[in-house]
């Protein structure tokens, strides 16, 4: 009898060891993404899992789930996952700030999304820190809590491994019912989630540039996400401690303007230190320099691009005379940064106004993701040809792209200097170029841009540069002990007045001479 009991005990021990080994092996082989996050394969938004055969209310199961949550969020875990955010980096990060502060109001933790190609979203190629510094989320802990995407992924995998996939509900925030939604990606984490308990929700709000009209949107979107109406005469935001809510809000977000009323949400997310370091290095090497941002995509009328280029040329010559120096001309543009001069010269000499598809032709690929090669016209080529004929132009490009063009014997103009951004820093990601260009413009002695609606399209990219240059000017005023305004006066100074500020009498390099100046017809 004693021998029989020992045998049973030995067999039970063997079973427990085997189960432990299987769990360990699962964890050790499942640290990588479930599938490539950049995959274009259509993923099923519905759950892909076997229903748990355990009772969630069983104290032992409840304790197991509690311990997993405790490990990742202190428990119980309630997350907001930005699956997809419309628009490119300058505005996309503003939208992320809106979602992060909203997550805080809902007592949820924001998942810091991946980044790539000037976009933000859970299913992109690079970690959040590839573009941004960790300091932003850490410095805003009084407003919201955050979790890195890799930790969020591990949490979901552990939950699925014990038979209880995390519950999720999909939320769509759109401009209007008749607005065409473009480019939304599938939720690449859907196989780790259980969507069966909640149906998808959508909200449509007409957007407006008028701040007063948007004041009510914070309340509207809060109630949309919370799923509860505000109690009468209660002015406080509340989320009930209710387990009957999805653990993850999977959010698709398409807006244009901010809605959060907290001023802290207006502060941009600082970029990764390795990116700001290279911008500092380049700006020191180029100084003194002027930065010109020219967004030519869908500029109307397109035939005004060449006269605008001539106007820009006249302005640069005038400012160089006033400064008593010849500053480096650093160009930020959506026109291709790497191209073959002979192809442009021939296209211009042929004088055809027909729209062509230049993709694959002598390296013609616009820098902006929204600027398709077949949108390039002869007017774009004429304008850029004028600039490189009359000025020495400096642009940035990915080191990998420069090497590729050299291998294909593509020769840019002699007056076209390309600064290669190392593969170690940027890889193949063009979004890093946009960030470096932006930082270079913020640091420039002079900043010039095309007049919106005349020589260029209105751009949030330009607006971000202007905001940072205004802040830089305010800091200069604070540091100037001879300046008569105190700190509160400086903060209240009308930004339009600061924006118009110029001082071309400053002869030294490295000092900001203006906020912005527009070239016009």
What DSSP string runs through 72-131? Answer: HTSSS--EEEEEEE-S-HHHHHHHHHHHHHHHHHTT-EEEE-EEETTEEETTSSB-GGGT
What's the total number of domains in the chain? Answer: 2
CATH number (domain holding residue 116): 3.40.50
Strand partners, 146: 110
Is 214 in the same domain as 131?
yes
Is 287 in the same domain as 257?
no
Strand partners, 250: 81, 170
From the list 231, 254, 41, 70, the residue with the least C-alpha distance to 159 is: 70
Predicted TM-score (pTM) of this structure: 0.81
| Predicted pLDDT of residue 13 | 59
Q: Per the domain annotation, does 8 fall within a domain?
A: no
Range of the domain at 85: 48-230+237-266
Is 359 in the same domain as 441?
yes
Instruction: Give the C-alpha distances (Å, rounded to integers) separating 12 from 53, 295, 418.
Output: 21, 71, 69
Q: Per the domain annotation, does 467 fall within a domain?
A: yes
From the list 418, 354, 433, 421, the residue with the least C-alpha distance to 388 is: 418
pLDDT at 25 over 90: no
| Predicted pLDDT of residue 181 | 62
Is 365 in the same domain as 253?
no
pLDDT at 218 over 90: yes
Is 223 in the same domain as 326?
no
Q: Per the domain annotation, does 366 fall within a domain?
A: yes
Average pLDDT of the residues of the chain: 82
Q: 30 burial class (0-12, 13-18, 19+ CB within 10 angstroms)?
A: middle
| Predicted pLDDT of residue 296 | 86
Give CA–CA dist 430/402, Å, rounded: 13
Is 390 in the same domain as 467?
yes
Q: Look at 35 and 330; give whichever has higher pLDDT.
A: 330
Q: Per the domain annotation, does 397 fall within a domain?
A: yes
Is 245 in the same domain as 316?
no
Q: Per the domain annotation, does 424 fall within a domain?
A: yes
* Packing angle of the helix pair 430-443, 89-105 (nearest 10 deg): 90
Return the minimum-mean-pLDDT range out of 285-294, 363-372, 387-396.
363-372
Q: pLDDT digit string (tens) for 478-512?
A: 776 545 555 555 555 555 556 777 888 766 666 78
Structure confidence at residue 232 as a pLDDT band (50, 70, 90): very low
Q: What is the dihedral of CA 365, 82, 199, 62, to 10 degrees?
A: 140
From the list 136, 119, 214, the residue with the least C-alpha distance to 175 is: 214
Q: Per the domain annotation, does 87 fall within a domain?
A: yes
Strand partners, 120: 115
Return the minimum-mean-pLDDT range out of 98-112, 143-157, 215-229, 382-396.
215-229
Is 424 in the same domain as 377?
yes
Is 192 in the same domain as 287?
no
| Predicted pLDDT of residue 154 | 97
Is 250 in the same domain as 302?
no
Structure confidence at residue 433 as a pLDDT band (50, 70, 90): very high
Q: Per the domain annotation, does 182 fall within a domain?
A: yes
Question: What Rg value do the Cα atoms of the chain yield, rounded?
Answer: 27
- Pairing assessment for the beta strands 166-174 and 248-253 based on DSSP bridges: parallel
Report the share of the chain in percent with pLDDT over 70: 76
Q: Per the domain annotation, does 9 fall within a domain?
A: no
Is 179 in the same domain as 304?
no
SS3 at position 33: coil
Give CA–CA dist 251/260, Å, rounded: 17
Is 187 in the same domain as 318?
no
Q: pLDDT digit string (tens) for 133-159?
A: 999 999 999 999 999 999 999 999 999
């Amino acid at each position: 009898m004693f021998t029989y009991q020992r045998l049973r005990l030995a067999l039970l021990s063997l079973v427990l060891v085997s189960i432990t080994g299987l769990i360990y092996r699962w964890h050790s082989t499942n640290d990588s993404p479930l599938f490539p996050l950049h995959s274009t394969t259509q993923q099923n938004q519905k759950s892909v899992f076997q229903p748990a055969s355990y009772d969630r209310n069983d104290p032992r199961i409840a304790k197991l789930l509690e311990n997993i949550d405790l490990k990742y969020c202190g428990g119980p875990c309630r997350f907001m996952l930005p699956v997809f955010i419309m628009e490119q980096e300058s505005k996309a990060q503003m939208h992320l700030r809106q979602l992060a502060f909203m997550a805080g109001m809902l007592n949820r933790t924001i998942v810091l999304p991946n980044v790539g190609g000037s976009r933000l979203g859970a299913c992109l190629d690079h970690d959040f820190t590839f573009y941004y510094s960790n300091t932003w989320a850490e410095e805003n802990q009084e407003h919201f809590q955050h979790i890195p995407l890799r930790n969020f992924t591990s949490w979901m995998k552990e939950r699925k491994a014990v038979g209880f996939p995390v519950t999720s509900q999909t939320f769509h925030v759109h401009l209007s019912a008749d607005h065409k939604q473009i480019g939304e990606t599938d939720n690449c984490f859907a196989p780790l989630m259980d969507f069966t308990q909640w149906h998808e929700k959508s909200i449509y709000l007409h957007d407006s540039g008028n701040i007063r009209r948007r004041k009510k949107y914070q309340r509207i979107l809060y109630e949309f996400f919370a799923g509860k109406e505000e109690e009468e005469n209660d002015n406080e935001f509340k989320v009930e401690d209710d387990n009957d809510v999805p653990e993850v809000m999977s959010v698709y977000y398409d807006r244009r303007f901010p809605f959060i009323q907290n001023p802290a949400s207006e502060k941009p997310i600082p970029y990764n230190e390795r990116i700001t370091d290279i911008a500092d290095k380049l700006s020191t090497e180029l100084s003194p320099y002027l930065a010109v941002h020219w967004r030519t995509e869908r500029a109307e009328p397109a035939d005004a691009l060449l006269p605008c280029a001539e106007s820009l040329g006249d302005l640069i010559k005038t400012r160089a005379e006033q400064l008593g120096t010849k500053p480096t001309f650093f160009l930020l543009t959506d026109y291709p940064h790497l191209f073959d001069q002979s192809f442009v010269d021939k296209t211009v000499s042929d004088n055809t106004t027909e729209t062509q598809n230049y993709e694959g032709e002598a390296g013609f690929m616009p820098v902006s993701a929204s600027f398709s090669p077949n949108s390039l016209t002869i007017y774009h080529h004429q304008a850029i040809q004028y600039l490189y004929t009359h000025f020495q132009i400096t642009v940035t490009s990915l080191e990998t792209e420069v090497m590729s063009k050299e291998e294909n014997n593509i020769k840019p103009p002699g007056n076209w200097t390309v600064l290669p951004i190392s593969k170690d820093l940027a890889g193949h990601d063009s979004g890093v170029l946009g960030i470096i260009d932006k930082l270079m413009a913020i640091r420039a002695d002079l900043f010039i841009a095309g007049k919106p609606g005349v020589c260029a399209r209105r751009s949030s990219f330009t607006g971000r540069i202007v905001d940072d240059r205004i802040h830089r000017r305010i800091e200069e005023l604070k540091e100037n002990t001879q300046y008569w305004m105190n700190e509160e006066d400086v903060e209240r100074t009308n930004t339009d007045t600061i924006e118009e500020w110029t001082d071309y009498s400053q002869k030294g390099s490295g000092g900001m001479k203006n906020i912005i100046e527009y070239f016009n017809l």
